[in-house]
Amino acid sequence: MTRIDDLPVRDELRGKSPYGAPQLDVPVRLNTNENPYPLPEPLVERIAERVREAARDLNRYPDRDAVQLRTELAAYLTKTGRHPLGIENVWAANGSNEVIQQLLQTFGGPGRTAVGFEPSYSMHALIARGTGTGWISGPRGEDFTIDLAAAERAIAEHRPDVVFVTTPNNPTGNAVPPETVLALYEAAQAAKPSMVIVDEAYIEFSHGDSLLPLLEGRPHLVISRTMSKAFGAAGLRLGYLAADPAVVDAVQLVRLPYHLSAITQATALAALEHTDTLLKYVEQLKAERDRLVTELRAIGYDVIESDANFVQFGRFPDSHEAWRRILDRGVLVRDNGVPGWLRVSAGTPEENDAFLDAVREVKKELE
């Protein structure tokens, strides 16, 4: 049998495994920070209508520049982000993973480096590897906040081409204060200058506001967003960015022509028409997230303050063993490889109750 390593794959891919959260068939799946609520029926109808219309034109390539979709995304950001943005500030792709890939293809690549403050979203490092960008693991403090002095030192020492800041951070859930992001931006400009990518995949769940207003006068700042979480549309694969128009022009140099299918554009437009309804689910999920924090603490777990739709809790002498025991009770959470900690996504009230029952039992067993 031919194995990957028998093929002439690039050296940096040898012996590596692909990204993948387990997709197990268990009653309660709280492991990938999805929105637990299916799309409301009127939206399903609207998607069907829009897709039917788009289907008639599938003999043609889709709008390469996704003009209507980017206009609507800019309107959504303007309405919710306290900062006016137009189509020229917005770019969209198949999930924010693809947005990040396009950014690293544009601003990273062979001979260049990117830094992220870990533990954070593991795909940043993996996309760096896939694009031939060197990866530097920057530090976080014991409490998982970014230690600004240490981060500034890392930026000054390595002079990275790209700096990633994930806020709210995944898997830890905590948000990064705007002053810290600003200081990191300044440090990155002094060192290189480099691009700063703020990954706001979970910002709609935050107690605080989006950093969109910081875009003003900062052409090296990019804010990356997604419809996978707050819009409850992980299956749609629609991510987007907001930045200076020059950044939007620059990513066109690497994007594949017609990368966003007509079906994707039609579906995303339908979902945006139902923004208000979808954001009501966000309010419910925020309340459930806060309940998880309170109840986990009442059970006796340590919990990191969360601004996302998930919560990191611990501490376990052996987090993988705890993960398995929770799974034995029909609840799938995530072991992100952060020693001593696990992560649970906020589900429906019933799912969260099942999870809390499971971790209550596991806590007793492990004592």
Residue number closest to ligand PMP, CB atom: 95
Structural element, H or E, at residue 224: strand 221-226
* Nearest residue (CB) to ligand PMP, 234 versus 299: 234
Distance CA 146, CA 141 (A): 6
* Nearest residue (CB) to ligand PMP, 96 versus 352: 96
* Nearest residue (CB) to ligand PMP, 99 versus 292: 99
- Residue 90 Cβ, how far from ligand PMP at the closest point, in Å? 15
* Nearest residue (CB) to ligand PMP, 73 versus 356: 73
The residue among 255, 240, 191 whose CA lies nearest residue 220 is 191
- Residue 162 Cβ, how far from ligand PMP at the closest point, in Å? 15
Please list the residues that pair with 136 across neighbouring strands: 115
- Residue 89 Cβ, how far from ligand PMP at the closest point, in Å? 18
The residue among 243, 236, 230, 246 whose CA lies nearest residue 198 is 243
* Nearest residue (CB) to ligand PMP, 104 versus 362: 104
- Residue 35 Cβ, how far from ligand PMP at the closest point, in Å? 11
List residues near ligand PMP by CB under 6 A. Answer: 33, 95-97, 121, 166, 170, 199, 201, 226, 228, 234, 239
Q: Which parts of the chain fold into alpha helices (H)? A: 41-55, 67-81, 95-107, 122-130, 148-158, 178-191, 245-251, 262-273, 275-299, 319-328, 349-366
SS (H, E, C) 203-215: HHHCCCCCCHHHH
Question: What is the maximum span of the chain, computed from C-alpha positions, in angstroms?
Answer: 63
Helix or strand or coil: residue 238?
Answer: coil
- Answer whether 114's CB lies under 8 Å from 134's CB: yes
Can you read off the two tokens belonging to residue 248? Answer: 């939007």
* Nearest residue (CB) to ligand PMP, 169 versus 194: 169
- Residue 119 Cβ, how far from ligand PMP at the closest point, in Å? 11
Can you read off the two tokens belonging to residue 337? Answer: 């490889």
- Residue 352 Cβ, how far from ligand PMP at the closest point, in Å? 19
Close Cβ partners of 183 (under 8 Å, ≥ 6 residues apart): 148, 152
- Residue 125 Cβ, how far from ligand PMP at the closest point, in Å? 12
DSSP 317: S
* Nearest residue (CB) to ligand PMP, 74 versus 201: 201
Distance CA 293, CA 170 (A): 16
- Residue 96 Cβ, how far from ligand PMP at the closest point, in Å? 3
* Nearest residue (CB) to ligand PMP, 175 versus 191: 175
Considering Cα of 112, then 239, then 234, then 57, what sign does the dihedral take? Answer: negative
Close Cβ partners of 193 (under 8 Å, ≥ 6 residues apart): 220
Distance CA 195, CA 189 (A): 8
* Nearest residue (CB) to ligand PMP, 181 versus 201: 201
- Residue 29 Cβ, how far from ligand PMP at the closest point, in Å? 14
